[in-house]
Structures are given as structure tokens and as C-alpha cells.
């Protein structure tokens, strides 16, 4: 995946999930040529507790986002 596509996907994730802003994804490829990007952050809750949040993005060979899913 080239840097332009990576920047475009990151911008989309940051716009949908502002708390992920600045988080660099872990990038891996699958056997079909798709790219999996996983963004993970930890947010603070009242009472001193924290909440882990993960956003998973699947990008096809053409650089188009085919699926975005998030936890919590």
C-alpha cells in the first residue's frame, strides 16, 4: 500500500472517530491482496477507569475501503 492510500484511509478513520486522531495503524496483508489496518486507542472514563477502542479497516487492492468495523 502506498503512502497516499494510507493517508487517505487514515483521514477517513480520523473523521469518523475523532478520538483515533494521530493513532498509527498496524498494517498487514491477507492472501487475497487486501490490506488490514487496525487502529487501537485507550480512552479515559469517569472514576479513573479506561476503555480500549479498536477500529478495523479492510482496504482492497485498488485502495478502496471495503469494510470498517469498530469496538465499543
The tens digit of pLDDT for each residue in 4-32 reads 999 999 999 999 999 999 999 999 999 99
How far apart CA 18 and CA 28 sit, in angstroms, is: 23
Angle, vertex CA 14, rays to CA 72 and CA 49, nearest 5: 40
Helix residue ranges, H only, 1-72: 3-16
Q: Topology of 3-70 in CATH?
A: Beta-lactamase Inhibitory Protein; Chain:B, domain 1 (3.30.1450)
Domain ranges of the chain: 3-70
The tens digit of pLDDT for each residue in 23-72 reads 999 999 999 999 999 999 998 889 989 999 999 999 999 999 999 999 96
Residues with Cβ within 8 Å of 19's Cβ and at least 6 positions away in sequence, in order, are 41, 43, 53
pTM check: above 0.85: yes
Cell triple for 52: 480500549
Amino acid at each position: 500500500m502506498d503512502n497516499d492510500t494510507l493517508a487517505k484511509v487514515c483521514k477517513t478513520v480520523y473523521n469518523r472517530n475523532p478520538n483515533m486522531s494521530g493513532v498509527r495503524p498496524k498494517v498487514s496483508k491477507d492472501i487475497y491482496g487486501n490490506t488490514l489496518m487496525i487502529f487501537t486507542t485507550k480512552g479515559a472514563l469517569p472514576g479513573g477507569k479506561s476503555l480500549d477502542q479498536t477500529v478495523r479497516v479492510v482496504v482492497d487492492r485498488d485502495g478502496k475501503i471495503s469494510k470498517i468495523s469498530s469496538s465499543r
